[in-house]
């Protein structure tokens, strides 16, 4: 089978998107610390790489536009231009425009690029007027300020970092850039190449010595290496060229750093250094033996260090579609393994059972490894909202700081991809409705700058994502009034605080007095609720009037494979997510009768309401004489689920329900068992809410 063809343009777009994210992060940090040289260099390198690679892969418009922004930041690096908030805002707008040129150039607003360059020209002296066309990237034209025709010769020696090639750096492109600067003589330095059997194909062992005659400056040569400069070994020395006889090899070696005494001795002696020194009596044989032993020892240590470095962590870029295909294949393997285990148990052969257990162990390990590959830090999502908060706070005339924690918390990539819209709506609501304006905060005795804190933390098999602000909090009286006005709540009906706050997620529900460009239509929070429920998660709201609001999203770690508890109710089997199970107890008929009609079970002194799943699912078969109760929990809420039989643990491959079953709220999905039958996965959050609401109705009646 032929390997899939790699699309260079797609590769460039993917790498450029990462560079644009890096650029945006650097620009946002520079607003707080405009004198940070490292951040300025980071922004410059990102622009330089986008420009150079864009020209290489045919993105001429991107390269031309990025060239102007790069020049502006080059002026900042050299101290010719002061980095102000206005310049940062222009650079952020330029970043957005570059993204548009790269992904959908036909949709770029007419004249947008010219307006950005005109704003840039007003702040930096080196920026061209709007509409000006720069030279193609790295095409060898003269750098600004050079003396035309003033040729100089430079000796350039460089070694790239060992992992440069594996990270995508092509040394031949660097050499071609040097050749574009003038007349070059290039020699490969091969002394660091190990024997063939020790070569790591992912490492770069070569170095290069380049003699370059050019009318470009030393800075132009350094720019060739700007995006690998931090980790490489580079020396650039000016070489004097005269009309006299060319230098001898010994003189050149001395200029390369070899002592003159060594050259003189080599000219008269042709034996190894140790032998020469022993013969002349300057070193004893024992001293020589000790020195040689020390040399061997140091060489062994150096080789061990090289081996350790060669085993250092590396990474490769894999298309997301391949990860999805791998997860699907692992899911099918888990289902097949369950069938194999059931078959081995039915046959009763001990050897077959042992083999089934080994296959189960390997499948479980492969499942965990595959799921680990799909897990990515949520910080990649959190970083997107810094720009959102910056721009919205300025539009609303507020000063708001976004702080984050738990960025290293990992979550399935599918979950993270679908979390963007809910978090955008929640942050926009916090900015528009939650955080007061400067006058309101001053009247409430609060700091002028508002704060929105975004955090993530693991909690068992779930991840809790919190969006917390220090604004005015939710107005419960207004929420109740709107709910009664829309017919969602009968007048003077008794309702808990948590249930009252849940009305903000109802479609079309809004407490805003006016519709703005940011919010007020009652759509955003409904979107949040629907998407989180589709992810098998839940939303909690906590608010203190005058102090702020916190919205907590509870999400599963993965949407692919979970550990479940397989139970039987009537003739059907169901799966309960194991992460929600606390314990299993028996429910005798005597205990059921002693409840006097109230569905409560005493668990170590605590009263826990329980649901009879036979009644809920309308089971027709006779009830088991010894039913079991599975105690499940969701945060602080606990409910018992009465089942006929607890079968055991089960690796559950989650399959989505069809659109015809979209309104069935008791189930979150389905799975295929080892015998080929289907078992439904219980939606524990819904069952707990139903059980507690049912008990409240019983108490009220």
- Predicted confidence at residue 145, as pLDDT, reads 34
**Distance in Å from the first CA to the final CA of the chain:** 70
Q: Is the dihedral of CA 685, 688, 694, 696 positive or negative?
A: negative
Query: What is the signed CA dihedral for 330, 335, 338, 343, rounded to 10 degrees?
Result: -120
Q: For this structure, is 429 an active site residue? A: yes
Lowest mean pLDDT: which of 111-125, 337-351, 594-608? 594-608
- Predicted confidence at residue 60, as pLDDT, reads 82
What are the tens digits of pLDDT across the range 576-588?
988 888 888 887 6
pLDDT band (50, 70, 90) for residue 316: confident
Domain 378-556: which CATH number of 3.30.1360.20, 3.30.565.10, 1.10.3720.10, 3.20.20.70: 3.30.565.10
Q: For this structure, is 48 an active site residue? A: yes
pLDDT band (50, 70, 90) for residue 213: confident
pLDDT band (50, 70, 90) for residue 574: very high
218 and 236 in contact (C-beta within 8 Å)?
A: yes
- Predicted confidence at residue 3, as pLDDT, reads 45
Residue 629 has a CB neighbour count (10 Å cut-off) of 23
Mean pLDDT across 622-650: 84
CA pair distance 646, 595, nearest whole angstrom: 23
- Predicted confidence at residue 453, as pLDDT, reads 93
Q: Residue 210: phi, psi to the nearest 5? A: -125, 130
Residue 463 has a CB neighbour count (10 Å cut-off) of 24
For tokens 């080196």, what's the residue? 126
Residue 139, C-beta contacts closer than 8 angstroms, at least 6 positions apart: 180
pLDDT band (50, 70, 90) for residue 501: confident
Position with higher pLDDT, 686 vs 141: 686
Q: Does this chain's domain 320-376 share its CATH topology with 561-700?
A: no
Rg of the Cα trace of the chain?
35
What are the tens digits of pLDDT across the range 98-146?
999 888 888 888 888 888 988 888 887 554 544 444 434 343 333 333 3
Residue of 64, 71, 429, 599 with catalytic role = 429
**Which DSSP string do the residues of 168-214 spell out, in sequence order?**
T--HHHHHHHHHHHEEEEEEEE-TT---GGG--TTS---EEEEEEEE
Mean pLDDT across 236-241: 76
CA distances from 489 to 307, 494, 500, 692 (A): 70, 9, 9, 19
Q: For this structure, is 572 an active site residue? A: no
Helix (H, G, I), strand (E, B) or coil at 72: helix
Least Cα distance to 535 among 566, 568, 557, 509 occurs for 557
- Beta strand 637-643 with 628-634 is antiparallel
- Beta strand 581-586 with 538-544 is unpaired
Lowest mean pLDDT: which of 21-30, 255-264, 478-487? 255-264
- Predicted confidence at residue 132, as pLDDT, reads 42
How far does Cα 662 stand from its chain's mean position?
Answer: 31
For tokens 């990462």, what's the residue? 18
Position with higher pLDDT, 513 vs 189: 189
Asked whether the predicted pLDDT for residue 598 surpasses 60, the reply is no
Residue 5 gets which letter from DSSP? P
CATH topology of domain 320-376: Helix Hairpins (1.10.287)
- Predicted confidence at residue 303, as pLDDT, reads 54
Asked whether the predicted pLDDT for residue 296 surpasses 80, the reply is no
- Predicted confidence at residue 695, as pLDDT, reads 60
What are the tens digits of pLDDT across the range 540-572?
888 888 889 999 998 887 777 778 899 999 889
Residue 212 has a CB neighbour count (10 Å cut-off) of 21
For tokens 């409430």, what's the residue? 444
Residue of 48, 67, 68, 433 with catalytic role = 48
> Is CATH 3.20.20.80 the classification given to domain 8-121?
no
- Predicted confidence at residue 181, as pLDDT, reads 84
- Predicted confidence at residue 689, as pLDDT, reads 73
Asked whether the predicted pLDDT for residue 304 surpasses 70, the reply is no
Position with higher pLDDT, 273 vs 576: 576
The rounded mean pLDDT for the chain is: 78
pLDDT band (50, 70, 90) for residue 692: low
CA distances from 577 to 55, 551, 676 (A): 52, 24, 20
CA distances from 79 to 70, 274, 480 (A): 14, 54, 59
- Predicted confidence at residue 698, as pLDDT, reads 61
Mean pLDDT across 139-154: 49
pLDDT band (50, 70, 90) for residue 288: low
Structure tokens at 652: 């559950």
Lowest mean pLDDT: which of 3-12, 115-124, 204-213, 335-344? 3-12
Asked whether the predicted pLDDT for residue 318 surpasses 90, the reply is no
Residue of 24, 67, 68, 70 with catalytic role = 70
Structure tokens at 381: 């999502």
Q: Where are the domains of the chain?
A: 8-121, 152-242, 270-306, 320-376, 378-556, 561-700
Bridge partners (DSSP) listed for residue 469:
452, 549
> Is CATH 3.30.70.120 the classification given to domain 152-242?
yes
Least Cα distance to 576 among 521, 631, 528, 534 occurs for 631
Residue 376 burial (10 A CB sphere; 0-12, 13-18, 19+): middle
pTM beyond 0.75: the answer is: no
pLDDT band (50, 70, 90) for residue 601: confident
CA pair distance 31, 86, nearest whole angstrom: 10
Q: What percent of the chain has pLDDT over 70?
A: 79
Structure tokens at 280: 């002349």
- Predicted confidence at residue 466, as pLDDT, reads 93
Q: Is the dihedral of CA 32, 35, 36, 37 positive or negative?
A: positive
What are the tens digits of pLDDT across the range 438-470?
888 888 888 889 999 999 998 766 788 999 999
Least Cα distance to 559 among 543, 580, 536 occurs for 536
- Predicted confidence at residue 355, as pLDDT, reads 92
Mean pLDDT across 276-291: 62
Structure tokens at 44: 């410059």
CA distances from 329 to 280, 317, 332, 365, 560 (A): 74, 20, 5, 14, 11
What are the tens digits of pLDDT across the range 155-203?
888 988 888 887 778 888 888 888 888 888 888 888 788 888 888 888 8
Mean pLDDT across 639-668: 80
Mean pLDDT across 481-510: 81
> Is CATH 3.40.50.200 the classification given to domain 561-700?
no
- Predicted confidence at residue 290, as pLDDT, reads 55
- Predicted confidence at residue 142, as pLDDT, reads 37
- Beta strand 606-612 with 637-643 is parallel
How far does Cα 36 stand from its chain's mean position?
Answer: 25
What are the tens digits of pLDDT across the range 426-440?
999 888 888 988 888
């Amino acid at each position: 089978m032929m390997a899939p063809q790699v699309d260079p343009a797609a590769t460039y777009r993917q790498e450029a998107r990462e560079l644009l994210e890096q650029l945006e992060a650097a620009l946002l940090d520079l607003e707080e610390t405009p004198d940070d040289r490292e951040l300025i260099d980071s922004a410059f390198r990102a622009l330089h790489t986008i420009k150079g690679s864009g020209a290489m892969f045919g993105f001429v418009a991107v390269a031309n536009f990025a060239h102007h922004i790069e020049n502006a930041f080059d002026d900042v690096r050299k101290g010719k231009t002061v980095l102000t908030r206005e310049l940062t805002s222009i650079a952020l707008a330029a970043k957005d425009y570059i993204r548009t040129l790269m992904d959908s150039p036909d949709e770029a607003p007419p004249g947008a690029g010219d307006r950005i360059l005109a704003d840039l020209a007003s702040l930096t002296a080196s920026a061209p007027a709007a509409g000006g066309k720069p030279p193609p990237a790295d095409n060898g034209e003269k750098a600004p300020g050079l003396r035309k025709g003033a040729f100089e010769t430079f000796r350039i020696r460089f070694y790239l970092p060992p992992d440069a090639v594996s990270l995508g750096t092509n040394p031949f492109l660097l050499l071609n850039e040097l050749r574009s600067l003038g007349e070059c003589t290039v020699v490969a330095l091969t002394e660091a190449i190990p024997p063939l059997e020790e070569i790591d194909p992912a490492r770069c062992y070569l170095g290069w010595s380049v003699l370059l005659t050019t009318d470009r400056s030393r800075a132009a040569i350094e720019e060739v290496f700007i995006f690998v400069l931090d980790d490489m070994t580079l020396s650039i020395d000016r070489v004097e060229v005269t009309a006299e006889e060319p230098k001898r090899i010994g003189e050149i070696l001395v200029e390369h750093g070899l002592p003159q005494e060594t050259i003189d001795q080599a000219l008269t002696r042709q034996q190894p250094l140790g032998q020469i020194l022993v013969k002349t009596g300057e070193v004893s044989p024992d001293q020589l033996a000790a020195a040689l032993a020390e040399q061997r020892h140091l060489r062994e240590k150096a080789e061990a260090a090289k081996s350790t470095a060669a085993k250092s962590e590396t990474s490769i870029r894999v298309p997301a579609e391949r990860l999805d295909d791998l997860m699907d294949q692992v899911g099918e393997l888990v289902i097949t393994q369950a069938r194999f285990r059931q078959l081995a148990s039915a046959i009763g052969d001990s050897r077959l059972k042992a083999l089934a257990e080994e296959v189960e162990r390997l499948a479980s390990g492969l499942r965990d490894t595959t799921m680990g590959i799909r897990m990515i830090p949520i910080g990649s999502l959190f970083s997107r909202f810094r720009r959102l908060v910056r721009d919205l706070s300025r539009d609303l005339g507020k000063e708001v700081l976004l702080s984050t924690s738990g960025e290293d918390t990992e979550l399935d990539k599918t979950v993270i991809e679908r979390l963007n819209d809910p978090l955008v709506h929640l942050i926009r609501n916090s900015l528009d409705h939650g955080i007061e304006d400067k006058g309101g905060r001053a009247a409430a005795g609060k700091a002028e700058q508002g704060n929105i804190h975004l955090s993530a933390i693991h909690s068992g098999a779930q991840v809790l994502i919190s969006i917390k602000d220090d604004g005015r909090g939710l107005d419960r009286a207004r929420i109740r009034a709107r709910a009664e006005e829309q017919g969602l709540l009968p007048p003077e009906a008794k309702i808990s605080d948590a249930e009252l706050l849940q009305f903000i997620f109802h479609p079309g529900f809004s407490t805003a007095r006016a519709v703005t460009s940011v919010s007020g239509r009652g759509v955003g929070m409904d979107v949040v609720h629907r998407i989180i429920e589709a992810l098998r998660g839940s939303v909690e709201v906590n608010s203190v009037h005058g102090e702020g609001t916190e919205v907590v999203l509870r999400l599963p770690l993965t949407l692919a494979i979970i550990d479940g508890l397989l139970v039987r109710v009537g003739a059907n089997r169901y799966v309960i997510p194991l992460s929600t199970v606390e314990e299993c107890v028996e429910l005798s008929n005597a205990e059921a009768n002693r409840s006097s009609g109230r569905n409560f079970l005493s668990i170590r002194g605590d009263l826990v309401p329980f649901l009879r799943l036979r009644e809920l699912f309308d089971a027709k078969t006779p009830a088991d004489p010894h039913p079991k109760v599975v105690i499940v929990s969701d945060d602080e809420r606990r409910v018992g689920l009465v089942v006929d039989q607890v079968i055991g643990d089960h690796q559950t491959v989650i399959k989505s329900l069809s659109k015809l079953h979209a309104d069935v709220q008791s189930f979150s999905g389905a799975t295929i068992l080892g015998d080929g039958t289907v078992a439904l996965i219980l939606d524990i959050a819904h069952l707990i809410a139903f059980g507690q609401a049912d008990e409240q109705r019983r108490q009220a009646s």
